[in-house]
Chain A
Amino acid sequence: MNAETQLKVQALVDGELPAKEAAQVEALLASDARARQLAAALKATRDALRDNEPPMTVPESRDFYWSKIAKEIERLEAAEARPARRPALAGLWRWLAPAGGLAAVAALVMIKSAGPSLEMALTEVHMASPDMGAMTFSDQEAGVTMIWLYDRSSELFTDSAAADTLPPQ
């Protein structure tokens, strides 16, 4: 078994051979006891390396350690600084909360007391059936808000007896 054949056996063990060459080498393994021994030895070595390879750790540098320490110092300083500001803000908040509520209630009262000028002037139209629609038009000059309903049962609202007597248009 020459060196080229040994390399092919190793390539087979590593799964690197194309199908055709792999079939040839497997045929060789079937007929050649030395080739089988070599393949078995290579597989055992591969398995031993794969299962027992120690984890590689990268040593941490001095700068890396110092940066971790610096970050921790910054974190602790920030945590200590926060409670110092709390009493001043709490004192302000004690006045701001009722003042804010007062402002909100005052605004509500002003809007309600101001009457229609500040009331919602929008026309709300809600249809009872999805089969019906409404078109809204407001003529501020004439002071008319028109809501035109379009549906299939508008004849419900007229004097149907009178309407029935009308000739078709």
Chain B
Amino acid sequence: MIRMTSAGWRGALAFCLASLFWNLAAGEARAEDLPLEVKLIWASNDAQSPNPKHKKLDSELTKWLGERYKWKNYFEENVQTITLKGNTPIKVQMSPDCRLEIAHLGGSRIEVKLYGKDKLVNRVVETLRNRLVIAGDAKSDTAWFISIKQVPKK
């Protein structure tokens, strides 16, 4: 059996510990504030939303959605801007039934937990170089879209 000298082990151990602490410290530093815009969009073929509070959207995103999905009109139900600080997750109530829990995992990685009526539906981990859109069908041949994107710091 090949043995390393005790001095060698001590040196390697000290180096690994120092690297570990340095990495942890660097990780904390990197977990800086992350401002996000979170939007709930409702898609329909009707020209008007039954809810007058809903604002019709005309943006790059709606254009992109319109080119790929069957719905002609997209209405903004709710839009919120949040700032993730450190690793603390933030709860975002998007509608009476829909809630998000968003956490910053460091770098551009975020974790999004989607809850429907307080029940966890899914968990997504994504690098926010892209806009993240979580979507699904809704009643009466409509659909919902949740858009999450990083916005510049104010």
Residues of A near any B CB (own CB < 8 A):
86, 89-90, 93-94, 97-98, 101-102, 105, 108-109, 112-113, 115-116, 119-121, 123-129, 132, 134, 138-140, 142-151, 153-169
Contacts and interface: CB of A to CB of B under 8 A. Distances in A.
Contacts of B98: 156-158
A95 B121 CA distance: 52
B107 A116 contact: yes
A160 B139 contact: yes
A150 B122 contact: no
B73 to A, nearest CB: 12
Interface residues of B, number: 64
B2 A93 contact: yes
A123 B124 contact: yes
9 contacts: A120-B109, A121-B127, A121-B129, A126-B122, A144-B131, A150-B137, A154-B137, A163-B142, A168-B141
Interface of B: 2-5, 8, 11-12, 15-16, 19, 22-23, 26-27, 30, 40, 42, 44-46, 49-51, 54, 60-61, 64, 77, 94-98, 107-109, 114, 116-117, 119-127, 129-142, 144, 146
Contact of A112 (B16, B27, B120, B127): B27
Contacts of A163: 138-140, 142
Given A102-B15, A128-B119, A154-B144, A144 B61 contact: yes
Contacts of B144: 154, 157-158
Contacts of B77: 158-159
Given A113-B26, A139-B64, A162-B49, A128 B139 contact: no
A123 B132 CA distance: 10
A145 B126 contact: yes
- The dominant DSSP class at the A interface is mixed
The 9 A-B pairs with the shortest beta carbon distances in the complex, nearest first, are A156-B116, A169-B141, A154-B136, A124-B125, A166-B140, A149-B136, A157-B98, A163-B139, A116-B108
Contacts of A158: 42, 77, 95, 97-98, 138-139, 142, 144
Given A90-B2, A149-B136, A160-B97, A126 B123 contact: yes
Contacts of A140: 130
A146 to B, nearest CB: 5
Nearest to A116: B108
B6 to A, nearest CB: 11
A166 B77 CA distance: 16
A150 B144 CA distance: 12
